Amino acid sequence: MMLRAGLQKTSLVDYPGILAAVVFLPYCNYRCPWCHNSSLVKPTEEDLSSLLPIETINAILTKRKAVLEGVVITGGEPTLTRELPELIRQYKSLGFKVKLDTNGSRSDVLEALLNHPETSPDYIALDLKLAPNRYAEVGGDPQVLCKSADLIARSGVAHEYRTIVLPHAILSEQDIYALSELVDGSSPWFFSPFKPGTCLAPAWNSYGRPLPEEVERLASVARRLGKTVYIRGLGD
């Protein structure tokens, strides 16, 4: 079956300082119950049929290369897609800057991408979900996460970290202390509130959003640890 993906033709917010298109690759190896992209995590045949053939997306991007500056490759989890290196290579050859969003679960793929200039992203966003010792809760491997974080920190590639503040104090100060070990001090660490509505686990759609004070409380923990912290999404 040919690769299919979602496309947002224009975004002003997904790639810092860059007018970009966003390509959504299906499938994810994590099972975060709060995930709002549930149709990309475990896509049904109907979900897949609503996506575009990647050749169609690439043709659209080629036509828009005079307008766009970059392409964001997100998911799902992009590093599961075997065509990812070729996609990055193709987008860079068109003159686009490429941002890669990842959960850090495929450090081997990440290392291979970073080892070659033609496949190395220009910007990486690493999602940090829970303390590494809790990653089994979402199906992750803490050692692989830590290796990915180290690869990114040492890569010389511009990057950011992203954490969702969860309801009912599911994400705690202890999680922030543990995650801070993976975060370099100069790159931005973005905190944003959980949003119900299209969660992978339907029960989570009944949970309320964390209060702004709770988001600020956890963000301030990271600030006290010397991290470069920003909050976004409170007004959405």
Dist. CA 114–CA 88, nearest whole Å: 11
Dist. CA 206–CA 120, nearest whole Å: 40
CATH dotted code for 4-231? 3.20.20.70
Sequence spans of domains, the chain: 4-231
Dist. CA 193–CA 132, nearest whole Å: 20
- Region 22-32: what's the mean pLDDT? 98
pLDDT of residue 141: 98
Token code pair at residue 73 = 């490759």
Residue 1 clears pLDDT 70, i.e. is over it: no
Dist. CA 179–CA 149, nearest whole Å: 10
Q: pLDDT of 148-182, one tens digit each?
A: 999 999 999 999 999 999 999 999 999 999 999 99
Given pLDDT bands bounded at 50, 70 and 90, which one contains residue 111? very high
pLDDT of residue 2: 86
Measured between its terminal Cα atoms, the distance across the chain in Å is 37
CA distances from 141 to 35, 133, 138, 160 (A): 18, 9, 9, 20
Given pLDDT bands bounded at 50, 70 and 90, which one contains residue 12? very high
Strands 97-102 and 70-74: parallel
Strands (E), the chain: 4-11, 20-24, 52-53, 70-74, 97-102, 123-127, 158-165, 188-193, 228-231
Percent of the chain clearing pLDDT 90 (strictly above) = 97
Dist. CA 85–CA 82, nearest whole Å: 7
- Region 178-206: what's the mean pLDDT? 96
- Region 181-206: what's the mean pLDDT? 96
pLDDT of residue 62: 97
pLDDT of residue 120: 99
What torsion, rounded to 10 degrees, do the Cα atoms 151, 176, 204, 188 define? Answer: -50
pLDDT of residue 235: 75
pLDDT of residue 236: 67
Q: pLDDT of 70-110, one tens digit each?
A: 999 999 999 999 999 999 999 999 999 999 999 999 999 99
**Phi and psi (nearest 5°) for 203?**
-60, -30
Residue 200 clears pLDDT 70, i.e. is over it: yes
